[in-house]
Amino acid sequence: MLLGTVDGEVHGGAVLADGTKGHDLYLDGIDGWVDLGNQRHTCLGNLQHCVNGFTLSLWIKIGDKTGDALHYISSGGHTKLSHGISLKKRDGKRRMDFRLNSPGRCWVVEDPDPTVSNSWYHVIDVWHPTDGAKLYLNEILVANTTNPSSVVAGNDHPKMVIGRPNNVFIKYGRAWMDEIEIYYKAFP
């Protein structure tokens, strides 16, 4: 069971293993991912359904895999052409990147410091329609924005996945994740 009441279908090199609390999700960075289904009519697939915003909280230990952009959570926000959210590491900068797209608007917050492979981080991503997006690492606010950019975002890829982009089978992130929680409210 992931994300409270959302069941996931595990694929490839993704496994549930004993973790710090219950089970950790391990993603091998080769072909491991989890399908959380079509989220088109939820906050995760369309921010217009999030009138109170939302908060994503998880523990993540990023593996030592390198690549252009390694994806950990995606419901479409990783591309300007689709609604949704994404959490990824851009290897050129080795920084966590949290991106949200809704019709016509895109918020991006990025950790200004490089993340360290094989270290645990408590990541909290918060979004509210009027207050914008915030990224916390280990309970410290590291980035925020209230000014979205303009985009032309459709809703072509509403599936929510963990471990890769939701529209292609590449850029798999290698990581351990624990306590993945989503709240349909923006916490401060």
pTM, entire model = 0.90
More confident residue, 19 or 137: 137
**Residue-wise pLDDT tens digits, 108-160:** 999 888 888 888 999 999 999 999 999 999 999 999 999 998 877 666 677 89
- Residues of the chain above pLDDT 90, percent: 49
Give the pLDDT band (50/70/90) at residue 2.
Answer: very low
Fold for the domain defined by 9-183: Jelly Rolls (2.60.120)
> What is the pLDDT at residue 3?
47
Residue 1: predicted pLDDT: 32
- At 5 the pLDDT is 54
SS in 3 state form for the chain? CECCCECCEEECCEEEEECCCCEEEEEECCCCEEEEEECCCCCCCCHHHCCCCEEEEEEEEECCCCCCEEEEEECCCCCCCECEEEEEEECCCCEEEEEEEECCEEEEEECCCCCCCCCEEEEEEEEECCCEEEEEECCEEEEEECCCEECCCECCCCEEEECCCCCCCCCECEEEEEEEEEECCCCC
What burial class does residue 102 get, using C-beta atoms within 10 Å of its C-beta: 0-12 exposed, 13-18 middle, 19+ buried? buried
